[in-house]
Amino acid sequence: MFLANENFPRPSILYLREQGYIVVSVQETYQGISDNDVLRIAKEQDLIILTFDRDYGELIFRYAVDNPPSVVYFRSKGDGPLFVGQFLHELLVSNQIDISAAFTVIDKNSIRQRFYTK
């Protein structure tokens, strides 16, 4: 379900896995690959990218990536390495957002989404 970018905290990856999510980790499996390779893998395996890297927005929207994978871009790491995993889990189980077919930006005080058109 998720592809955690290299900068995504390992404790949050483990937490999400404990909650039953499938999380492929770039740190564990694809260390050192480029952002373009992350996009390619996410598209091929139908995974949602979890990242702190704002470059994905530019790659997807500025360079018009065809059929881009969903991305959840966190602008803040919060209060500790578990924060983003716990926060994402809470959003998903409460059905507050739909992160499929969207570029989602999560900030301390807001959530913004840009949905992809087909």
Residue 67's domain is classified under what CATH number? Answer: 3.40.50
> Whole-model pTM?
0.94
Mean pLDDT score, 72-77: 93
Domain residues for the domain of 23 are 2-115
Number of domains within the chain: 1
| Residue whose tokens read 């890297």 | 53
Query: Are 8 and 55 contacting, i.e. CB atoms less than 8 angstroms apart?
Result: no
**Number of neighbouring beta carbons within 10 Å of residue 111:** 13
End-to-end CA distance of the chain: 21
85 confidence band (pLDDT: 50, 70, 90): very high
